[in-house]
């Protein structure tokens, strides 16, 4: 499965580990899990965590490194959890001697000489842990296991997404051997601020719900200002629509502005219907049941809702015939 990966790692004196912009816990967990393991295992190599953007929970992960262009030129670049080249946090990955992609998103674009893409895995952390399990038979050092577990826990929404598999749990069990404190990790990853709590209440109260079972909300710049939440925090609240029996799909559109232009970036989620191909029509993409769109006008966002509704109706029709 990881043919040649260890070989490339072993021969590289410098390794730069990249991940996507606006990193979530899977991007950061896989990055810091791998970086920490590389540093520990190869004390003579120079290993760097790349990226400028801070994540949703910056207090949970160390700060990225400052790396000059010449160092990147001499390095092996490993890019984690990122399907499109434009989303790589720090575009200088192109300077590297060699680029390796490791990801669980469906293959979207090839930007590396080698790639390890396993889109049936629930998280990039699952793939990194799987790679380490092959090499390190005994339990991983606690900190490394924690980083990887955090990404596994959040990308699977506490092991509840439909890509959670027996393998995911096997990997979780492997990580758990490192004396993990599950309740503490859950608390750290999922508890929200009282501001977010109030904002969630607003979202739930004001969501639009189509008769087909499509729920959605628009969050304007003014609303985020009023509730004191950032666009990143607001986006995370898509999970507030999950767990409702009547909802087949749901969407959250967050307003952004660039120069004078105001537009929406949206997150789409569904129980059964595919939403990633719809997302692709609106400058986005992602997983079958969890995708994102970019730079949409309100009209486009409403079109997306209509397309999802149509698909829900078709699916219901097919179920009954
Ligand atoms: Mn991920």
Q: What is the CATH number of the domain that holds 151?
A: 3.90.1640.10
Residues 165 and 205 in one domain: no
Residues 11 and 108 in one domain: yes
Decide which of 189, 223, 255 is a domain's last residue: 189
Please give the Cα distance from 273 to 246 (Å, whole number).
14
Question: In the block, which residue shows the tokens 């038979």?
Answer: 137
Q: Which CATH number characterizes residue 230's domain?
A: 3.10.310.30
123 CA to centre of ligand 1 in angstroms: 5
Which residue stretches of the chain have pLDDT < 50?
Answer: none
Residue 14 gets which letter from DSSP?
Answer: E
47 CA to centre of ligand 1 in angstroms: 22
49 CA to centre of ligand 1 in angstroms: 17
Residues 110 and 206 in one domain: no
Please give the pLDDT value at position 55: 73
Residues near 222 by Cβ (< 8 Å), separated by ≥ 6? none
Please give the pLDDT value at position 192: 85
Residue 209 CB: number of other CB atoms within 10 A?
Answer: 15
Residues 105 and 57 in one domain: yes
For 37-75, the pLDDT digits (tens) are 999 999 999 999 999 887 777 789 999 999 999 999 999
Residues 238 and 299 in one domain: yes
Please give the Cα distance from 164 to 68 (Å, whole number).
39
Please give the pLDDT value at position 154: 94
29 CA to centre of ligand 1 in angstroms: 9
26 CA to centre of ligand 1 in angstroms: 5
Residues 146 and 61 in one domain: yes
Residues 43 and 170 in one domain: yes
In a 3-state reduction of DSSP, which class is residue 63?
Answer: coil
159 CA to centre of ligand 1 in angstroms: 13
Residues 201 and 160 in one domain: no
pTM for the model stands at 0.83
Residues 173 and 200 in one domain: no
305 CA to centre of ligand 1 in angstroms: 24
122 CA to centre of ligand 1 in angstroms: 7
Decide which of 157, 189, 221 is a domain's last residue: 189
Decide which of 189, 216, 242 is a domain's last residue: 189
124 CA to centre of ligand 1 in angstroms: 5
149 CA to centre of ligand 1 in angstroms: 12
Please give the pLDDT value at position 58: 75
- Domain extent for 299: 195-320
Residues 293 and 171 in one domain: no
Please give the Cα distance from 190 to 29 (Å, whole number).
15
121 CA to centre of ligand 1 in angstroms: 9
Please give the pLDDT value at position 162: 86
Give the C-alpha distances (Å, rounded to integers) separating 305 from 275, 284, 312. Answer: 10, 15, 11
Please give the Cα distance from 321 to 317 (Å, whole number).
6
Residues 160 and 22 in one domain: yes
80 CA to centre of ligand 1 in angstroms: 9
Residue 275 gets which letter from DSSP?
Answer: -
Residues 163 and 201 in one domain: no
State the total domains in the chain: 2
């Amino acid at each position: 499965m990881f043919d040649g990966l260890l070989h490339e790692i072993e021969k590289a004196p410098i390794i730069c580990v990249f991940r996507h912009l606006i990193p979530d816990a899977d991007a950061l967990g896989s990055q810091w899990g791998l970086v920490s393991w590389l540093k520990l295992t190869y004390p003579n190599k120079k290993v760097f965590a790349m990226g400028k953007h801070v994540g949703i929970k910056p207090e949970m992960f160390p700060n990225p490194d400052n790396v000059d262009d010449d160092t990147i030129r001499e390095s092996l670049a490993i890019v984690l959890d990122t399907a499109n080249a434009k989303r790589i946090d720090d575009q200088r990955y192109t300077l590297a001697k060699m680029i390796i992609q490791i990801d669980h998103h469906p293959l979207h674009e090839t930007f590396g000489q080698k790639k390890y893409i396993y889109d049936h895995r629930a998280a990039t952390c699952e793939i990194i842990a799987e790679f380490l399990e092959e090499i390190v038979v005994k339990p991983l050092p606690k900190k490394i296991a924690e980083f990887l577990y955090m990404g596994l826990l959040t990308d699977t929404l506490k092991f509840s997404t439909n890509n959670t598999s027996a393998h995911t749990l096997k990997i979780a069990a492997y990580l758990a051997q490192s004396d993990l404190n599950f309740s503490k990790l859950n608390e750290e990853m999922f508890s929200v601020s009282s501001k977010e709590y109030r904002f969630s209440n607003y979202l739930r109260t004001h969501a639009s719900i189509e008769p087909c079972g499509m729920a959605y909300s628009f969050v304007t710049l003014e609303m985020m200002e009023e509730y004191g939440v950032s666009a990143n925090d607001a986006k995370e609240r898509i999970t507030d629509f999950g767990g409702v029996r009547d909802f087949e799909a749901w969407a959250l559109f967050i307003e952004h502005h660039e120069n004078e232009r105001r537009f929406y970036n949206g997150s789409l989620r569904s129980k059964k219907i595919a939403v990633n191909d719809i997302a692709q029509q609106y400058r986005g993409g992602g997983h079958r049941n969890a995708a994102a769109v970019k730079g949409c006008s309100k009209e486009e966002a409403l079109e997306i809702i209509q397309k999802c509704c149509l698909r829900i109706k078709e699916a219901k029709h097919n179920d009954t015939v």
